[in-house]
Amino acid sequence: MRSTVFVWAVLVASCGSSGDSTPAAPDAGTTADTGTATDTGTSSAAVIATDKSASLTFELPPGVEKTVCVYVRLKNPEPMFITKAIGTLAPGSHHLIIYKATTAEENLTPQGCTPFAGLISGKEVMIGETAKPNGVTELPPNVGIKIDANQMIKLEAHYINATKSKLTAKGTWSFEGVPVASAGAMEQADAFLWGSTKITIPPKSAWDTGVKFQKGQAGTKVFFLTTHQHQFGTKMTLWSSKAANDTSLAPLVEETNWADPKMFQVNPALEMDGTSGISYKCEYNNTSAEEVKFGESALEEMCFAIGWYYPSKGVDVCFEGVCPGRK
């Protein structure tokens, strides 16, 4: 059943102080979310929640890069399957991610947080991710991401203001879905994050990870993909592979715009048989005078394939082929 019965909007804008420290990089899924540290650079944040929306707005000073998180409770009256998520970003926004969270209490004050920490730990389910001005995650027919009534959500916002002027950084998430009670037979979807933390780029040098491979879980189907790099990223390529070292097919994605990556709907979905998976390669050009390694700050890099699959076997996080959460 695909009729749309609810639409919720989530609006977020955030900033920080150039004096804030950057959280530690994730390490093979063991990093804890540091969202409890108060964002002291926030001076005039305003948060509004209604039965259909939640908002956070304030200004982003020049020369600031910051990742912040807030927790807010949706006012949905009953459990539902989300079947479509639409994200929009204003200038100054690098990415905006929304998660299904397990925390019991709202925290509407922006907190400095480690990017992807909830996903990496397996404690939070990513509903949508966009680094584009407009990004849409649309699930296949009869597939949805299940949320509870009055679901708590986490908004993770990474902002970069490279200009000399103040910006109002904004992002919006809207959802479409169907109540669980009237959904009929629905497959439950979940998110994956596959990639490498082994990044060391010499100063003033081009470098790449080489082709790496991540095996999918047998019996699952991958239906949505996007890439994630930072400012030194020049290209990330994804292939559908029958096994490791197989790049015989034309690439699924060849992304050369790190700041505005494509959100790729895979149709038909890629079927994982226990041997097949996704191959990936990240390329960089370090124009700085410093060595660049894995991490979230302006002089650090990432290499992730992010996507959604079904039926759910839990959040699937894998670094260099190691997937701690798989059974």
Band of the pLDDT at 105, cuts 50, 70, 90?
very high
At residue 20, the pLDDT reads: 31
Distance CA 117, CA 33 (A): 5
**Sign of the C-alpha dihedral, residues 152, 98, 121, 313?**
positive
Scanning the chain, the segments in alpha helix (DSSP H) are 117-121
Share of the chain above pLDDT 70, in %: 80
7 or 139, which is more confident?
A: 139
Read off the pLDDT of residues 230-273 as tens digits, 9 standing for 90 and up. 999 999 999 999 999 999 999 999 999 987 788 788 989 999 99
Distance CA 93, CA 103 (A): 25
Distance CA 62, CA 65 (A): 9
Distance CA 160, CA 95 (A): 10
Residue 25 has pLDDT above 60, yes or no: no
At residue 28, the pLDDT reads: 33
Distance CA 325, CA 273 (A): 18
Domains of the chain: 6-187 (2.60.120.230), 189-319 (2.60.120.230)
User: Whole-model pTM?
Assistant: 0.75
Residues near 101 by beta carbon (within 8 Å), at least 6 away in sequence: 71, 118, 123, 124, 152, 153, 154
Read off the pLDDT of residues 280-317 as tens digits, 9 standing for 90 and up. 999 999 999 999 999 877 789 999 999 899 999 998 99
Residues near 268 by beta carbon (within 8 Å), at least 6 away in sequence: none
Q: Do the bridges between strand 277-286 and strand 205-208 make them parallel or antiparallel, or are there none, so unpaired?
A: antiparallel
Quote the mean pLDDT of the chain: 80
41 or 164, which is more confident?
A: 164
Residue 31 has pLDDT above 80, yes or no: no
206 or 29, which is more confident?
A: 206
| Chain center to CA of 305 | 10
Amino acid identity, residue 203?
Answer: P
Residue 223 has pLDDT above 90, yes or no: yes
Beta bridge partners, 175, equal 8, 85
C-alpha separations of 16 from 131, 207, 277 in Å: 19, 31, 38
Share of the chain above pLDDT 90, in %: 43
Read off the pLDDT of residues 115-162 as tens digits, 9 standing for 90 and up. 778 877 778 888 877 777 777 788 999 999 999 999 998 888 777 777
Identify which of 123, 24, 23, 29 has the alpha carbon closest to the alpha carbon of residue 321: 29
Identify which of 93, 94, 89, 152 has the alpha carbon closest to the alpha carbon of residue 118: 152
At residue 211, the pLDDT reads: 97
Residue 90 has pLDDT above 80, yes or no: no
Residues near 315 by beta carbon (within 8 Å), at least 6 away in sequence: 119, 122, 124, 125, 126, 190, 191, 192, 325
At residue 268, the pLDDT reads: 92
At residue 172, the pLDDT reads: 74
Identify which of 113, 10, 100, 95 has the alpha carbon closest to the alpha carbon of residue 56: 10
Residue 51 has pLDDT above 70, yes or no: no
Distance CA 201, CA 294 (A): 9
At residue 310, the pLDDT reads: 96
